[in-house]
Every structure is written in structure tokens, then in C-alpha cells.
Chains A and B, each alone.
Chain A
Amino acid sequence: NAGVTQTPKFQVLKTGQSMTLQCAQDMNHNSMYWYRQDPGMGLRLIYYSASEGTTDKGEVPNGYNVSRLNKREFSLRLESAAPSQTSVYFCASTRLAGGYNEQFFGPGTRLTVL
């Protein structure tokens, strides 16, 4: 099993450009998440999907949109990138919503917005 995979690993954008971060998991997990990690601020939840067909806003959703394409894939879109969105983005998944389940993280995407 590959676990949780993310593409791309690195990306540089200019202000105003758009892009989609891709995430996929092969563990048959139901819940998927997108976090951003900034120095000194830990991991902050952007959006999550408790199960296929549902998505919910997290702590910092502004400037982002998500799509739960199917059970395996959960994408994050930046419609008009801003320098404040420079960060490391992690996708994660857990087996069940509401259970005591480990969250598995992807390798991260390092995004720089100029």
C-alpha cells in the first residue's frame, strides 16, 4: 500500500494564479482532511470530508475549495493564490468518522506564492 499520496511535492505560484493539490489514499478510509502547516502555528484544518459525498469547513477555509472526487481522492483548489497561502499542505485520512482511529498523513506539498 502506498498509504496517502500527494502531488505535487513542491510548487511555486505567482499571486492570482490557480492550482489544485491532489491527494489519494489506498487504505479504504472514509474520512479525509486538508491541513496547512505554518511555523509556530501547528497544523490547521482547512477542509475535511467525513465520508464520501460530504465536505465541511475547518478553521481556515477562506481562499480554498475542495472536492471529494470519490472515496480515494480529495483535492484542494486555490482559485486565486495569495502570498498568505505560502505554506506546507498536508492531506490526511482516517478509517472512520467518530472512531478512535489513527490519522495517516501524506508527504506534504510545499507551496510558495510570490
Chain B
Amino acid sequence: GENVEQHPSTLSVQEGDSAVIKCTYSDSASNYFPWYKQELGKRPQLIIDIRSNVGEKKDQRIAVTLNKTAKHFSLHITETQPEDSAVYFCAARGPGTRNQFYFGTGTSLTVIP
């Protein structure tokens, strides 16, 4: 099956700086890559996603890039704010109708005011 690795496991940045979280995947047939944000004690929530036929996607201060050849994708958060502090998970979903998602182990982001 698919294997998703995520780095770093913890990340601290000063408010206003950028944060980058990287993930790699193993199955070249995976075609959908969502990113989730999970605040302490809460459920994961989708913040951005990208399909395999797209190289980059932006939504205000958040962007995701995908390199299919290298099988890695990254989350970029610019102008970080304290409310960005949370755990971020990447995921990959394989093709077909099975619809099984594989998650990275998470990155705990702390934005220091």
C-alpha cells in the first residue's frame, strides 16, 4: 500500500515568517493530496487539497505544491499568525473506487508571537 512520510514533526516560527511542511509518498498512482489542520482536542479539518494533474494551488496565505516525478508535495503558509498554531497532516489517496486515504504522522506548528 501507500506510504506517506511527513517532515518536520515539529516546527516553530516567529509570527509573520513562513512555514513549510513536506511530505513524500510512495505510490505513483496516488492522485489526490489533501492537507488537514487539527487544533488541540478538535477534529481534523481540510485546509487545502491538490489533484495530481495540478502543480500548485493557492488559497490566500496557504499554498500547496506537488512534484509528481519526485513524489513529494509541500504545504506553504506565509505571514504566519498565532492562530495557525496546530498540527498539520498531509494525506494521499490512491486511484479507483476504493478511496483509501493514507496520512502522514503530522507536524506540530507553533507560531511565536
Contact A98 B99, CB 8 Å, known A43-B44, A90-B43:
yes
Q: Is the CB of A100 within 8 A of B44?
A: no
Kindly state whether residue B1 has any CB partner on chain A within 8 Å. Answer: yes
Q: In the complex, how many residues of chain B place their beta carbon closer than 8 angstroms to a beta carbon of chain A? A: 26
Report the bound CA distance from A105 to B99 in whole Å.
Answer: 15
Q: In the complex, how many residues of chain A place their beta carbon closer than 8 angstroms to a beta carbon of chain B? A: 26
Interface string of A36-64 (1 = CB under 8 A from B): 00001111110010100000101100000
CB distance from B26 to the nearest CB of A (A): 14
Chain A residues numbered 65-114 whose CB sits less than 8 Å from any CB in chain B: 90, 94, 96-98, 100, 102-103, 105-108
Report the bound CA distance from A41 to B32 in whole Å.
Answer: 21
Report the bound CA distance from A113 to B46 in whole Å.
Answer: 30
